[in-house]
Structure 1
Amino acid sequence: MNKLNNGFTLFLSLLVEAMPFVLLGVLFSSLLLFFVDERKLVEKMPKNPLLGALVGSMVGFLFPVCECGNVPVARRLLMQKVPTSVAIGFLLAAPTVNPIVIWATWIAFRDQPEIVVLRVVFSLLIATIIGFVFSFQKDLTPVVHPTIARYLKFNPPSELQPKRRPKRSQIQQESGMPALLQSGTYLLGVGQAGQTMRLESTNIDTTIPSSSKPLGAKLRLALENTVQELRELGAILVIGSAIAATIQVVAPRELILSLGAGPISSITAMLVLAAVVSICSTVDSFFALSFASTFTSGSLLAFLIFGPMIDLKGVGLMLTIFKPRAIFYLFALAALLTFLFTLIVNLYFL
């Protein structure tokens, strides 16, 4: 009974600490998602692969989305002919390198500011390196989902802005059909019967910038997106908090101490945990904080860096953009680089 009480107390403390950041992150990302002109942002992206990967990794400051919302935004970027390095950099870094997550990490690790700084620096480095590596793949057909490959093949840049497109988008808005793929979801309401279809099954114009919508439409879409993401992320937060509390209470103390003390075993354990737990990047710092007294600083960084980039939930979402082989490369590169950087931290610094 004592363990049950301790577990429930830990579960509630994680939930109460993290919930405000979930709400703030969802509100902020929803507003920016529909008020920032993506097309103007796309036009200013650098063409140099290395610089593009770095800039793409920092775009998360404008689109502060978690690993649920970064996938549809990255998909839109690819469909708007943004360089691959930019889209990959954004996909991997945006869940971590954004003001909401940085603030949440600071609140959780205010006594260890080096964790906050290294999380941002290492996330930028890893996303930039992987984005640069993928920039050598000039033809995206072998690596992207067949739907995106067909879109890129039959929609060259010169054909993306015909004069009549805005009229069709306006009709879609008046009929209640969303013109953009909303973050956190891959299904759009289509038709008067309220049917649900995938993006590739519709004639939605994904190139119409959200900033061109009337103010009322923007606010409505932002509200709908907020409710949808709160519903999804709230469930993930509850499950993640329950898992953290269960591990702390049920797992033998000796096992946790033996895994957490080793410079290599601690990193390996936290990499696996990050992939399995799949907790939202907005609140994963509070999850990691519960292991701060038993695990090495490098392993905590491994969890905070790798989890938002690649987890089981994220892999499922990425399958709507990439083929399994490309996701495997992303997974392997992210895991290897995270392991190397955090091992250096364990051995030589913290």
Structure 2
Amino acid sequence: MPSVSLAHFLQTEQMQSFKTIFVSILLEAIPFIILGVLLSSLLQTFVSEQTIRRFIPKNPILGILFACLLGILFPMCECGMIPVVRRLILKGMPVYIAVVFIITGPIINPVVFAATFMAFRNHPTIAYSRMGLAFAAAVIIGLILYRFIKRNPLRNSRANFSNQEDWEGHQHQGGGISSKINTFFVHASNEFFEMGKYLVFGSMLTALIQIFMQRESLLAIGQGPLSSHLFMMGFAYILSLCSTSDAFVASSFQTSFTSGSLLTFLVFGPMLDFKSTLMLLSVFKSKFVLILSVLIIITVLACSLLFEHLFLL
């Protein structure tokens, strides 16, 4: 009897809709995750930190602008970016430039732009606004950090990382091309499964919200001038989606949420989510992570509300 009831439940209209939404998000997002993982692994394996550091301008304004655009040349997910940036700081990269790279690299890059443009084919302004909002917010955050953060915020000293740096240096230098190719595939597979589990979780939760949450309640939240933004910020933080797939989740809310709140989701999530918070805490002091988190929340919310008023009406 229970098995009959379960079979009947799986055939209900709600479950059919759930499966359709869940599978459609997965199928649209997976190609972009694969592309992002391959590029990230390629850079992680074959491009050294010295190569990146060599091109960093000394001028703080130019340095911030350079960091904002660095993701175009080095499109990496935030999971692979934070360890790389930590090594760059240890080798002399200013903290404000490193942080700007961390928060913009997962957004301002060609793979994420293509994914966002495909997800919002009927509303391409979202794709352009996502890039513009991420750039504007990062410049503001970078300037504030440059002005007020003077001490090294790293949790551990250089000495504590020396052994790991030596090991990572051998990964870049030793073993020949066959070793690097093996490292490339290992890194790519690990990152794909790491990102994949968040995509599956995010797609499932998105489908559940849309199917089982009353549409009136969803519209009441999604059309609120402030509640929609706050809900999407919390949603992005919990989901911890990769920036190459989050646009497909956001696009499924187009009929329920304002364009500005979708933009908030698309910019805030890659800059700060549960997964990246844990990674930041493993690298930076807790006080610095708290300051950075507050800066991201306030800046993204304020800039998103402004963008919504100016460009997305």
TM-score higher than 0.5: yes
Please provide the CA RMSD for this pair.
Answer: 1.9
Q: Quick check: 2:96–2:146 contact (8 Å CA) kept in 1?
A: yes
Query: Partner residue of 2:124?
Result: 113
Matches within 5 A, 1:135-154: 135-136=146-147, 137-140=149-152, 143-145=153-155, 147=156, 150-151=157-158
Structure 1 pair 345/201, CA: closer, same or farther in 2 (3 Å)? closer
Is 1:205 the counterpart of 2:166? The answer is yes
Q: Secondary structure at the match of 2:101?
A: helix
Cα distance in 1, alignment partners of residues 118 and 264 from structure 2: 18
Structure 1 pair 71/204, CA: closer, same or farther in 2 (3 Å)? closer
Query: Partner residue of 1:256?
Result: 218
Q: Secondary structure at the match of 2:78?
A: coil
Structure 1 pair 35/347, CA: closer, same or farther in 2 (3 Å)? same
Match of 2:150, as an amino acid?
K
Query: Partner residue of 1:271?
Result: 233
Cα distance in 2, alignment partners of residues 79 and 232 from structure 1: 26
Structure 1 pair 209/335, CA: closer, same or farther in 2 (3 Å)? farther
Q: Secondary structure at the match of 2:29?
A: helix
Identity %: 38
Query: Partner residue of 1:47?
Result: 58
Deviations 1:150-196 (A, max 9, x none): 20xx5xxxxxxxxxxxxxxxxxxxxxxxxxxxxxxxxxxxxxxxxxx
Cα distance in 2, alignment partners of residues 36 and 204 from structure 1: 15
Q: Can you give the 5+ residue segments of structure 2 that lack an aligned partner in the other structure?
A: 1-11
Q: CA deviation at 1:207?
A: 7.6
Question: Which of 207, 218, 221 is equivalent to 2:180?
Answer: 218
Question: Which of 76, 79, 84 is equivalent to 1:65?
Answer: 76
Query: Partner residue of 1:331?
Result: 293
Deviations 1:86-143 (A, max 9, x none): 2011111011111111110011012212111111111112122212222232321xx3
Bigger drift between 260-269 and 86-95 goes to 260-269
Q: Quick check: 1:57–1:97 contact (8 Å CA) kept in 2?
A: yes
Q: Secondary structure at the match of 1:319?
A: helix
Query: Partner residue of 2:281?
Result: 319
Cα distance in 2, alignment partners of residues 100 and 216 from structure 1: 27
Q: Secondary structure at the match of 2:77?
A: coil
Q: Secondary structure at the match of 1:336?
A: helix
Structure 1 pair 206/333, CA: closer, same or farther in 2 (3 Å)? farther
Cα distance in 1, alignment partners of residues 89 and 281 from structure 2: 14
Match of 1:15, as an amino acid?
L
Query: Partner residue of 1:233?
Result: 195
Q: CA deviation at 1:316?
A: 0.6
Q: Quick check: 2:96–2:142 contact (8 Å CA) kept in 1?
A: yes
Q: Quick check: 2:133–2:307 contact (8 Å CA) kept in 1?
A: no
Q: CA deviation at 1:60?
A: 1.3
Q: CA deviation at 1:203?
A: 5.2
Q: Quick check: 2:49–2:84 contact (8 Å CA) kept in 1?
A: no
Matches within 5 A, 1:180-191: none
Structure 1 pair 16/207, CA: closer, same or farther in 2 (3 Å)? closer
Deviations 1:183-223 (A, max 9, x none): xxxxxxxxxxxxxxxx8484541684866452222211111
Query: Partner residue of 1:82?
Result: 93
Question: Which of 257, 260, 267 is equivalent to 1:295?
Answer: 257
Cα distance in 1, alignment partners of residues 89 and 167 from structure 2: 11
Q: Secondary structure at the match of 1:135?
A: helix
Query: Partner residue of 1:190?
Result: none
Q: Counting helix residues as a fraction of each chain, which structure ranks higher?
A: 2
Deviations 1:4-61 (A, max 9, x none): 1111111011111111111111011111222223213202211222221221122112
Is 1:93 the counterpart of 2:104? The answer is yes
Matches within 5 A, 1:339-350: 339-350=301-312
Q: CA deviation at 1:279?
A: 1.2
Cα distance in 2, alignment partners of residues 114 and 203 from structure 1: 44
Return the TM-score normalized by structure 1.
0.81
